[in-house]
Amino acid sequence: MLIKDSVLGFILGVSREIHPREFSCQLRGDEELIEEAIVLPRTIYGEGFATTFMNMKPIDYSIIGSAHSHPTGDYSPSSQDLRFFSSFGVVHLIIRQPYKSIRDVAAYNNSGERIPVELTP
């Protein structure tokens, strides 16, 4: 999976900015490229990824997954994350503190397996 530099920069920047709260967004693109981060109303808040976000089904089919931050510094998915990942999409990103580079990003598929993610050349 590839991600545009500008999209990664945006996700890292917002994650840093709202730390220690969690950031979450949806991702738009196709099966090979993450092209855009979509921030939905009420998805920036402090009390955990799931509360609002998990109840929101993607609005359109160009939504290919999600991204959210882990203020803990651990980008392993929680059991709640795994349930959410399996509900839709092809790629889900978890961004860990300190949110500095792509090394702080882990990508998972719908089954919760780690998949490679790289910046677009």
Please identify which residue in the block is written with the tokens 């981060």: 37
CA distance 80 to 1: 23
Least distance from Zn ion to the Cβ atom of residue 100, Å: 18
Question: Minimal distance in Å, beta carbon 121 to Zn ion?
Answer: 29
Stretch that binds Zn ion, among 2-10, 55-63, 72-80, 82-90 (CB under 5 A): 72-80
Cβ of residue 78: shortest distance to Zn ion, in angstroms? 5
DSSP, res 102: G
Angle at 116 between CA 60 and CA 53, to 5 degrees: 35
Rule CB under 5 A: which of 15-54 touch Zn ion? 49
Give the up-direction half-sphere exposure of residue 66: CA atoms within 13 A in the CB hemisphere.
28
List 1, 23, 81, 108, residue binding Zn ion (CB under 5 A): 81
Between 62 and 78, name the residue whose CB sits nearer to Zn ion: 78
Q: Does 104 bind Zn ion (CB under 5 A)?
A: no
Taking the least distance from each CB to Zn ion, the nearer of 81 and 104 is: 81
Whether 12 contacts 99, CB under 8 Å: yes
Other C-beta atoms lying within 10 Å of the C-beta of residue 55: 7
- Cα separation, 10 vs 86, in Å, equals 25
To Zn ion, the closest distance from the beta carbon of 72 in angstroms equals: 9
Count of residues that bind Zn ion according to CB under 5 A: 3
Positions touching Zn ion (CB under 5 A) are: 49, 78, 81
